[in-house]
Amino acid sequence: MKIIKRSGIEVTFDIDKIVNAINGANLEASEADRLTDEQVVAAARNVEQACAAAGHTVSVEEIQDMVEDQIMALERYEVARRYIIYRYVQGLKRTKNTTDDKILSLIECNNEEVKQENSNKNPTVNSVQRDYMAGEVSKDLTQRVLLPEDVVAAHNEGLIHFHDSDYFAQHMHNCDLVNLEDMLQNGTVISGTLIERPHSFSTACNIATQIIAQVASCQYGGQSISLTHLAPFVEVSRQKIRRQVEAELAELGVEAPQDKVADVVETRLRDEIRRGVQTIQYQVVTLMTTNGQAPFVTVFMYLNEARTESEKRDLAMIIEETLRQRYEGVKNEAGVWITPAFPKLIYVLEEDNITEGAPYFYLTELAAKCTAKRMVPDYISEKKMREYKLSKGETEGNGDCYTCMGCRSFLTPDRSGNGYDNVARAKNYEPGKPKYYGRFNQGVVTINLVDVALSSHQDMDKFWEIFDERLELCHKALRCRHERLLGTLSDAAPILWQYGALARLDKGETIDKLLYGGYSTISLGYAGLYECVKYMTGASHTDAAGTPFAMDVMQHMNDKCAEWKAAEDIDYSLYGTPLESTTYKFAKLLQRRFGIIPGVTDKGYITNSYHVHVTEEIDAFDKLQFESQFQRLSPGGAISYVEVPNMQDNLKAVIRVMQYIYDNIMYAELNTKSDYCQECGYDGEIAIVEDDGKLVWECPNCGNRDQEKLNVARRTCGYIGTQFWNQGRTEEIRDRVLHL
């Protein structure tokens, strides 16, 4: 059995250390109040059993809490007091070097918590370690200097989660929709070099990847680009190639029928599209940004975003090539085709691609094939989104369809009705057209709904009282995020604020006007709705006895966001948090404070946002239908999924799910498995097994457990992770049941 020390290092459990610690406190007490030797050993063994039953790798702090509980249970209060004093003194000694210890342990790759904090970062690489080192310093500054004490305390106790505190010291925002169209059509500047409008599709793709890399290095969240913004350059290349072909024919003195010339042009054009798409895929996978990972980029594929029918046909060619190349995958170091984590792909389901016989149904069939093998693309229903996302003056069913920022964070609809009067001074501004590209999110703070429920002890009046207190604490923390961005100069990130990705402000100008009026959003996240409802009502939120309470909780958070927005002219928006490492943190802290409560705190994780619990048996279609109502109440971000087996031989079923998504839910994905063992060549599902209290990944064919020689891809939070996960998330992945 393993435990995690304060430095993050994982070591073997040693009962003698507990015995020695209790004996140390015992000897400090008066003889009459001391424990017997038998009681000391019994207390230590009870702690050992509690650690084994915890369901996760426990920390030293958890063990010390257990020791205190055992001494108190034996009514040896002076011994307990001596033990508490000892802990306090040792804590004082540690305050001066906690950050140092964390940094040194991650450099030596001994910090288990940091190593598995991000499933797309390899902690053994120098650039990742450098980012983590900077992050530890930033966290330290944030907690000691930049945030109010009550916000810090609530974050550390797991009442709320202040996201991305490792980047808070800098004036950085979260995620955005890159205005790629403006940058390509009207030029931009990268590293002091003027980049003019490209003269071919392949050049446009190359410039796009450079923009992606620059943007990723100036923010900490995801970014999204649209393939529609590349589509006009297909015609640019077509005309360029036609001129080349005609020149070649003239040089040879050959006359050719126009249909033959057109065939040659289209063949060469297809080859250029292939090379351009390949540039994006391979550049994104191989680029390493300043935060030590490939850019977190989402590629949006929406046919109806094209301006003309001819541009739509060209866009379809780009989408087709993107899907084909993603289906193929990328080669790992052994030359085996595997599933990459990025770019994330989103395919919009719309009237002209959703049914057999529709003009672009062939793309949907290709998307289904790609999903079955590589887990992407994910799917947005144009039909449902245009019901939900209504800009000023729009009616239900005639709203807007646009991509999320990264994995699930959505902008609020354009409430200005006029593109915000082009406050960002974009060169592609169209008066009266709703604006999305160039907008961004200021940051996220998440409320732990499970803790709200448990703190109320099932007193419903107390629940709502505590709920409001915690929401105001989140509001205070979100104001800190907003105020940290106030006064930020455009010079801090020229690619974002001066050269078109988000704005074209002057040098020395602040970004303040982009923080108000709805141009940007700020997100109130939430986690653990299922466990909250389970504790308060005794039923799952999918049960008729629990659903009304779940809806009330969701509506209450939306009402708070509306209240803050009206008072401050800042677009607060409710966001279904994609917990990664935080799911484990919240679970451990809940167990420490409230113990093991069946169905609520008995796992090493809590449920993401509004999702149906991963262990709950439910049909795929029922799950999507149920969760659709919560997506509407999560306007700042939401994604649903169904867990499916290997579907490569059952693409009709995949398409049936996609068609159901189109009619019933705004944004959803299918989770399958895509693994490979480098030791034996096994390409089935890599298993999760328990070894001495720890969950490890193992090839079921050869028993290989070396993570360096296993390629595992799993959807964790709306995006694919490939660098393995902490114990809580690994437990959640293991517990997932199939929905189809």
Catalytic, 221? Answer no
Catalytic, 133? Answer no
Residue whose C-alpha is closest to residue 150's, from 474, 389, 573, 461: 474
**Which residues, 6+ apart, have CB-to-CB distance to 13 below 8 Å?**
1, 2, 3, 48, 51, 693
CA atoms 496, 498, 504, 506: torsion sign: positive
Secondary structure class of 62 (helix, strand, coil)? helix
Identify the active-site residue in 174, 237, 353, 704: 174
Identify the active-site residue in 429, 526, 575, 610: 575
Distance of CA 34 to the CA centre of its chain: 51
Can you give 646-686 as a three-state secondary structure string? CCCCCHHHHHHHHHHHHHHCCEEEEECCCCEECCCCCCCCC
Catalytic, 580? Answer yes
> How far, in Å, are 154, 233, 551, 586 from residue 66 at the CA level?
22, 65, 37, 18
Q: How many CB atoms lie within 10 A of CB 36?
A: 11
Identify the active-site residue in 637, 718, 721, 728: 718
Identify the active-site residue in 409, 573, 609, 674: 409
> Is 661 exposed, middle or buried (CB count within 10 Å of its CB: 0-12, 13-18, 19+)?
buried
Catalytic, 10? Answer no
d(CA 175, CA 177): 7
Helices 37-53 and 15-28: crossing angle in degrees, nearest 10, is: 140
Catalytic, 558? Answer no
Q: Cα-atom radius of gyration of the chain, to the nearest Å? A: 27
Tokens of 125: 């690489």
> Is 122 exposed, middle or buried (CB count within 10 Å of its CB: 0-12, 13-18, 19+)?
middle
| 694 beta partners | 691
Residue whose C-alpha is closest to residue 738's, from 650, 659, 671: 671
Phi, psi torsion values for 333, nearest 5 degrees: -65, -20
Catalytic, 282? Answer no
d(CA 352, CA 329): 27
Catalytic, 699? Answer no
Catalytic, 174? Answer yes
Phi, psi torsion values for 689, nearest 5 degrees: -125, 160
Secondary structure (DSSP) of 594-611: H---TTTTSSS----TTP
Identify the active-site residue in 172, 205, 385, 405: 405
Identify the active-site residue in 172, 183, 407, 561: 407
Secondary structure class of 97 (helix, strand, coil)? coil
Identify the active-site residue in 441, 448, 520, 640: 441
* Amino acid at position 130, single letter: R
Classify strands 223-226 and 176-177 as parallel, antiparallel or unpaired.
Answer: parallel
Q: Is 163 left (phi over 0), alpha (psi -120 to 50) or beta?
A: beta
> How far, in Å, are 160, 382, 593 from residue 597 at the CA level?
20, 42, 11
> How far, in Å, are 278, 314, 352, 355 from residue 362 at the CA level?
21, 15, 10, 10
> How far, in Å, are 155, 611, 621 from residue 661 at the CA level?
36, 16, 9
Helices 201-216 and 258-286: crossing angle in degrees, nearest 10, is: 20
d(CA 273, CA 112): 43
Residue whose C-alpha is closest to residue 402's, from 376, 427, 433: 433
Phi, psi torsion values for 626, nearest 5 degrees: -65, -45
Catalytic, 483? Answer no
∠ CA 466-469-472, nearest 5°, is: 150
Identify the active-site residue in 51, 175, 301, 658: 175
Phi, psi torsion values for 559, nearest 5 degrees: -65, -40
Residue whose C-alpha is closest to residue 377's, from 715, 675, 738: 715
Identify the active-site residue in 580, 627, 698, 732: 580
Secondary structure (DSSP) of 538-581: SS-TTSTTTHHHHHHHHHHHHHHHHHHHHHHS-EEEEEE---SH
> Catalytic amino acids?
174-175, 405, 407, 409, 441, 575, 580, 718
